[in-house]
Amino acid sequence: MSIFVDAETRVVYQGLTGSQGRYYGLLNRDYGTRVVAGTNPRKAGTDVDGIPVFATVAEAVAETGATASCVFIPAAGVHGAVIEAAEGGVEFIVAITEGVPAHDEAHFYNRLRRDYPHVRLLGPNCPGIISPGQCNIGITAGHIALPGGPVGIVSRSGTLTYQALYELREKGIGCTTCVGIGGDPVPGTSFIDCLEAFEADPDTKAVMMIGEIGGSAEEEAAEFIATRMTKPISAYVAGVTAPPGKKMGHAGAIVSGGKGTAAAKMDALRAAGVRVGLNPTEAGELMADIVAGL
């Protein structure tokens, strides 16, 4: 099995007619993802390499049965695109765009929770999600992901999402689903959301988790792991060598008052029983050991 998306997921690309939306929309379709529509109110009635373009998400859902959307809209328009997708009837929204104002993120995050609790948002500022061999929504290179499980991956870092997939591929280990949750201050989907889903998925036997400095998401995940997870986990936390007092990387990578450091996160995860690597390759090796013992 997989979490959140599978071979039946039908995707509408908001921004399919733009250069990046077109590139990744067609790439994901070629991977096997059911990319069924795009939206652009100025180009409704046209198509992108055979994929029909509609004026709104609601029209795309009505005509194609789309169940998910992928947002390739400039940052200033992401707020409207996310709300339009929820109002239009999709159940899963992947927002790839970087640089979305934190105020906008907080507003649409809370609007979804209040008015559309059945809708899951992934991102913004994330690489997306891939259930290898079934569905790829976003910018992850499909060829680095082996299907067939038994490992689920959840990562705050975009680039290290790909690294985690690559490390497992090099060891011949498949993945059920790999989720890049993004590193912004208000992520639509959290570590805990993914860990809970992986815990409930019978085909996911172990989880690889990639964190980074800033915020408290990893410490919160460690508490969840200690009390709720039965499946083994390996992890890596980026930012061990980050200089004190400096803001590094993502908007969420803010360290303050001694909290949010890589060392503190690693200690919390180890205390919860997680096997923590000092680099991505070591985290992959730890997962290989876990898989060998399953």
- Catalytic residues, by residue number, are 250
Name 236's bridge partners: 210, 277
257 and 144 Cβ atoms separated by less than 8 Å: no
User: Order of strands, edge to edge, in the sheet holding 233-238?
Assistant: 135-138, 128-131, 174-180, 150-155, 206-212, 233-238, 275-277
DSSP letter (8 states) at residue 248: -
Q: Which residue is it, tokens 């509408």?
A: 12
- Beta bridge partners of residue 211, listed in sequence order: 237
d(Cα 37, Cα 8) in Å, to the nearest integer? 15
Longest distance between any two alpha carbons in the chain, whole Å: 56
CA distances from 255 to 185, 249, 251, 265, 280 (A): 12, 11, 11, 12, 21
Q: How far apart are CA 287 and CA 270, in angstroms?
A: 15
